[in-house]
Amino acid sequence: MRKTIALAAACAAFAGTSARATESGGNVYPLGAEGTLAGALPPPGVYYLGYVQSYSADRFNDVDGKQGFIPAFDVDAQAAVSRVVWVTGRKVLGADLAMHVVAPVVRLDAHIAGVSDRRTGVTDVTVDPLILGWHFTNGLHVLTGVDINVPVGNYSRTSVANISRHHWNVEPVVAVAYYPKNGLQFDLKAMYDINFKNRDAQINALNPTGADYRSGNELHVDFAATKPVHPKVSVGVGGYYYRQTTSDQVDDPAAQATIDALGGFKGEVFAAGPTVRVAAGKAQVIATWQHEFTARYRPQGEKLWIKMILPLASFSRK
């Protein structure tokens, strides 16, 4: 009986909660943003990476992956992301040293359980001052770093269309690529999100007092397998897998009891779809469509990514 009441309260909670925060079933990292060419650093230089993303979902699933956990759920999100990567030309532990900064602009339109909102603006910025990339003669590449997400985006604790997490987050990163001279090429980028407390948490039926909220930690992997079909064209499959590994925690005993009744409100999702890479002069353009085949305690929908990699300057190693 207690669990039934808790589940009903959780469903009602989404009438006044964000469509994307892990406080209510989302994550910091834009799942599926990387795939082809994600696992290896380019030669020394400065690079601009531009991403355009469109995502839509008309369902929020329960723990069994069935539709209807949240009634009347419909979200559409578009993002334009600018990322600047500086591969310094210096060596550390035999690896190329690089750093990057990522600044997204997001438009989110949300309709959840009879409540609607729309927001557009700059969301949280990501920085990493220490990226290391190793390159091996057999075509294997390994990359590692720690991304830091800085909560500077537009946020309202009562909006259903928040575009900021409003808390700090760090993400250790390990990426591996294998680019043989012939045959299939593989990229895999794994990240583990460590979330800090939101001390101005969302106010909703799941957390009616707005008590401090710490979203659970999350593991996610972007992947791609592609094959060159022309000197300037590769085709294949790309996608992502996401799983929340620890439970959400809230500094309110009643709210925590509801979350515990939901098994910690741990999300999970898997998506895949076709991807194509085209070399256009000095630029690389990658388009990927991803269908979410299964989702638990998360939206389930469709996503399109278009990514451009453009070298701005190049220089020699030191």
Nearest to 226 by CA among 215, 218, 234, 214: 234
Going from the first residue of the chain to its last (318 residues), give the mean pLDDT of each consecutive group of 10, the final group possibly shorter: 33 35 62 90 95 95 91 92 96 96 93 88 94 94 96 86 89 96 93 94 85 94 96 96 94 92 92 96 95 95 96 79
Supply the pLDDT for residue 7. 35
pLDDT at 205: 72
CA 85 to chain CA centroid, Å, is: 18
CB of 158 closer than 8 Å to CB of 171: no
Return the amino acid letter for 192. Y
Give the C-alpha distances (Å, rounded to integers) separating 219 from 88, 122, 130, 204, 238: 29, 25, 21, 26, 17
Rounded to the nearest 5°, which phi and psi values hold at 108?
-125, 125
Question: What does each C-alpha distance from 291 to 64, 115, 285 come to in angstroms?
Answer: 18, 26, 20
pLDDT of residue 29: 86
Whether the CB-CB separation of 291 and 273 falls below 8 Å is answered with yes
Q: How many other CB atoms are there within 10 angstroms of residue 153's CB atom?
A: 20
Q: Which residue has the tokens 């600044």?
A: 103
Give pLDDT, residue 283.
93
Q: State residue 32's pLDDT score.
A: 92
Domain 45-312 is of which CATH architecture?
Beta Barrel (2.40)
pLDDT, position 13: 34
pTM comes to: 0.90
* Gap between the Cα atoms of 245 and 181, Å rounded: 37
